[in-house]
Structure 1
Amino acid sequence: MKFYELSPEKRRDQLVQEGWLTTQDAALLAGTHSLPEVTGARLIENAIGEFPLPLGVARNLLVNGQLHQVPIADEEPSVIAAASNGARLATANGGVRTHVAAHRVVAEVVLTNLTDLVQARQTILAHQTDIQKVIAVAHPSMIQRGGGLDQLTVESLGAQFLKIRLTLDPQQAMGANYANTV
């Protein structure tokens, strides 16, 4: 019998047998637990109730060489069937390969009313190591996590403006506060 032809209970049982769910997970999914209002009000702002959706699973999607069962909460017919079919086609053709690009943030400082752009640029670049040290002292925890200044560039903007562009590695942080305080 195909997975989609099974009852929800039998689907949970099969996922337990395959090792995708624990018996506790299956019991939780089978239960009729409703979120208490007080819990909902603590989780989000302006809570006015719940909006339950059926929870299904798109089966056997190969991602980076590892097979996944993808949970999907949805009220539309055929969405999970289409996702499962897409997973089947992708898996049959080697699966999905992912790559995460390095996360960087940029801080820019524009200097105005400069009379000698060439000299100002040379001075900034000559003190790049000093600038990196100041950033490291201001944000030691970022440096400890492996982040910091990746790149410093200086660009002329018109006749009297110079832009200093600092490319920063915020590690796991979003980086906005880091960029703003550098």
Structure 2
Amino acid sequence: MNKAISGFSKLSKEEKIKWIANQYFSTPTEAIALLKNYWNSDEKIQKLHDEFIENTITNFYIPLGVAPNFLINGKYSTIPMAIEESSVVAAAAKAAKFWSTRGGFKTTVINTEKIGQVHFIYKGDVSKLNLFFAQHKSKFFSETESITTNMQKRGGGILDIVLKDKTDLLPNYFQLHATFETKDSMGANFINSCLEQFSKTLKEEAHNYNLFTETEKEIEVVMSILSNYVPNCIVRAEVSCPIEELEEKHILNPKEFAERFVQAVQIAEVEPYRAVTHNKGIMNGVDAVVLATGNDFRAVEAGIHAYASRNGKYSSLSHAKIENGIFTFWLEIPLALGTVGGLTSLHPLVKLSLEMLEKPSAKELMQFVAVAGLAQNFAALRSLTTTGIQEGHMKMHLNNIINQFEANDEERIFIQKYFKKNTVSHSAVVSFIEGLRK
């Protein structure tokens, strides 16, 4: 059967669903019913969701949870987290409560600079290109004034533009490397609009520059685009306390725990195989808050992992030390976030999440996200260096296994009671359910 189709995007949502159901499912009516079951009953909200992307057929739900008791710079907050992985929200909340009685989290925004580049090919005398740029630099600013006026009123705008010679990497390759401040917006559209104007100015002015030869005048702009690598848009989050204050139910020997914890972090600093999983745990917290607040978690992921490799080897994003009897655990990560524009003003649950965070600025949101990442990392390392990661994770995973086998309420009670005292594994749960049903 030919499953290609022409003009799919022009079909109505109902027609799209009908075509997909008939082409790919043995029981089309069941597929259609399932897709429609996830539509929002409020037509206005559903229409809003339909228009977020193209070819929408339904909504794909991810749970929105909350982690309370985060004491950040002396103030309590409850952090919204959108994620499908079990134990993440519970772990973050547990870490938040742990540190709330030990001074809480301290955060600092180090910088908020964002980057965009015009990538171009120039075949000619480099000294003449440098002179051209020096003479015309002000024009790049003046010809973007219509774009930057509103951003400048909010305290943002273009910070600087520099010409970069990249011919050691590729023949005839140069950049206009621009830095921006976008205040409370993520700023992608603003930055890209400025860059496209830069490219027009570059080509037009080069074409009219009388010191260039005809070949030199024909500058080829390859692309103009922002970078998701923002090594100068950094936030720091940390926790610290005297070693003896680390004692709790699972930490009976705080000195031994602190030393093992620091060793675990040091392993992630030097061993890339461990660092990837270590940083994935941080991103469990980071991505969950980024998604809940309507920001681009793919951009954040790409930028953060690039930052983890900035010294030529992939390494841990978090660090730990013991000095003068004080245990300190911290991370510094790049985060380009926004609290205005995009989904932040459209998605009802994004607006709710931001209101829960008391309508933060972009700088404040950076701090919430960093804290969630650090809390998640602390919780994971505490488990790994004490009881082991699987004990808590598999108990949280128990509900997923129970739901997979569609246990009724009575069976659920027996299963949960049994596994309070026994090790949870998929095979053990399946075996118990089968025995229970016999």
Q: 2:130 aligns with which of 121, 125, 132?
A: 121
Deviations 1:45-78 (A, max 9, x none): 247579696x875442201210124456889886
Aligned-partner SS, 2:77 = strand
Aligned-partner SS, 1:98 = strand
Q: 1:177 aligns with which of 189, 194, 197?
A: 189
CA distance in 1, matches of 2:164, 2:80: 48
Aligned to 1:153: 162
CA distance in 1, matches of 2:60, 2:119: 47
Contact 1:148 1:170 in 2 (8 A): yes
CA distance in 2, matches of 1:93, 1:127: 56
CA distance in 2, matches of 1:174, 1:163: 23
**CA separation of 1:49 and 1:141: change in aligned 2, threshold 3 A:** closer
**CA separation of 1:113 and 1:41: change in aligned 2, threshold 3 A:** same
CA distance in 2, matches of 1:181, 1:147: 15
CA distance in 2, matches of 1:82, 1:37: 34
Deviations 1:155-177 (A, max 9, x none): 22326443221222233333333
Q: 1:165 aligns with which of 177, 182, 191?
A: 177
Counterpart AA for 1:41 = Q
CA distance in 1, matches of 2:129, 2:156: 27
Counterpart AA for 1:121 = N
Aligned-partner SS, 2:127 = helix
Aligned to 1:6: none
Contact 2:62 2:84 in 1 (8 A): no
Q: So what's the TM-score if we normalise by structure 1?
A: 0.59
Contact 1:152 1:167 in 2 (8 A): yes
Aligned-partner SS, 1:86 = helix
- CA drift of 1:130 comes to 3.1
**CA separation of 1:92 and 1:125: change in aligned 2, threshold 3 A:** farther
CA distance in 2, matches of 1:79, 1:181: 38
Q: Matches of residues 14-163 of structure 1 in structure 2 within 5 Å?
A: 36-45=41-50, 46=56, 48=58, 58-70=67-79, 81-100=90-109, 101-114=111-124, 116-158=125-167, 160-163=172-175
Contact 1:151 1:167 in 2 (8 A): yes
Aligned length: 146
**CA separation of 1:140 and 1:71: change in aligned 2, threshold 3 A:** closer
Contact 1:105 1:176 in 2 (8 A): no
Contact 2:156 2:182 in 1 (8 A): yes
Name the structure with the higher strand share.
Answer: 1
- List gaps (5 residues or longer) in structure 1: 1-34
Contact 2:62 2:83 in 1 (8 A): no
Counterpart AA for 1:156 = D
Q: So what's the TM-score if we normalise by structure 2?
A: 0.28
Aligned-partner SS, 1:146 = coil
Contact 2:116 2:192 in 1 (8 A): no
Among the aligned pairs, what percent are the same residue?
25
CA distance in 1, matches of 2:175, 2:149: 25
Name the structure with the higher helix share.
Answer: 2
- List gaps (5 residues or longer) in structure 2: 1-39, 51-55, 195-438
Structure 1, 167-176 or 77-86: larger mean CA deviation: 77-86
CA distance in 2, matches of 1:67, 1:103: 28
CA distance in 2, matches of 1:147, 1:49: 36
CA RMSD of aligned residues (A): 3.5
